[in-house]
């Protein structure tokens, strides 16, 4: 089953974005300590978007995108406020980011999405859907990255509380 016509642009834009960030990360951005985790995350996301598209898993694909994109927007707002030296506002938005990361990526991602793809789909359909193993493996890898990054986020939160200003701890020391 192909995605609905209105879903095609969404999947196309998301696929283009993650493909471009894969190359941008490799060729443009400053190397960070989590380079390989980030690069693998982008490759897994490209594969998940592609397989959701060709398999017709519109609802799962949209849920994956929503759970990730909400956090990304909040994180970018916090960064912009920090760069603009609006540290109190940046810290408040960062606190919202930490809470939404925990709620969406650590709770909703496995409790709603992975449960649905791994268990509910087989129970409802009565058979194993196409690309079942690949999609669930990709989602589990992404979830492991969410846990890893949450540890880094908590370190930034601790340093923000201790120093009063957030810093990217992924920067390599020269």
Mean pLDDT for the chain? 87
Average pLDDT of span 124-130: 86
How far is it, in rounded angstroms, from Cα 115 to Cα 19?
27
Higher pLDDT, 103 or 161: 103
Domain ranges of the chain: 7-163
How far is it, in rounded angstroms, from Cα 107 to Cα 154?
16
Cα-based distances in Å from 155 to 12, 50, 72, 117: 35, 33, 18, 32
Q: Is the predicted pLDDT of residue 117 greater than 50, yes or no?
A: yes
How far is it, in rounded angstroms, from Cα 16 to Cα 10?
10
pTM of the entire structure? 0.85
Looking only at Cα atoms, what is the longest distance across the chain? 56
pLDDT digits (tens, 9 = 90+) for 37-95: 999 999 998 898 888 888 888 888 889 889 989 999 999 999 999 899 998 899 899 99
């Amino acid at each position: 089953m192909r995605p609905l016509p209105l879903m095609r642009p969404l999947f196309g834009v998301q696929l283009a974005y993650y493909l471009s960030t894969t190359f941008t990360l490799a060729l443009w951005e400053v190397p960070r300590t989590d380079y390989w985790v980030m690069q693998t995350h982008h490759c897994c996301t490209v594969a998940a978007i592609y397989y959701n598209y060709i398999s017709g898993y519109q609802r799962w694909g949209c849920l994956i995108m929503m759970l990730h994109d909400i956090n990304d927007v909040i994180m970018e707002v916090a960064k912009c406020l920090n760069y603009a030296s609006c540290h109190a506002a940046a810290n408040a938005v960062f606190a919202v980011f930490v809470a939404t990361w925990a709620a969406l990526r650590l709770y909703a991602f496995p409790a709603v999405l992975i449960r649905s793809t791994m268990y509910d789909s087989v129970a409802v359909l009565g058979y194993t859907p196409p690309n079942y193993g690949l999609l669930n493996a990709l989602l589990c890898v992404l979830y492991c990255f969410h846990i890893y990054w949450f540890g880094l986020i908590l370190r930034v939160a601790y340093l923000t509380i201790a120093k009063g200003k957030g810093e990217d701890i992924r920067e390599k020391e020269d």
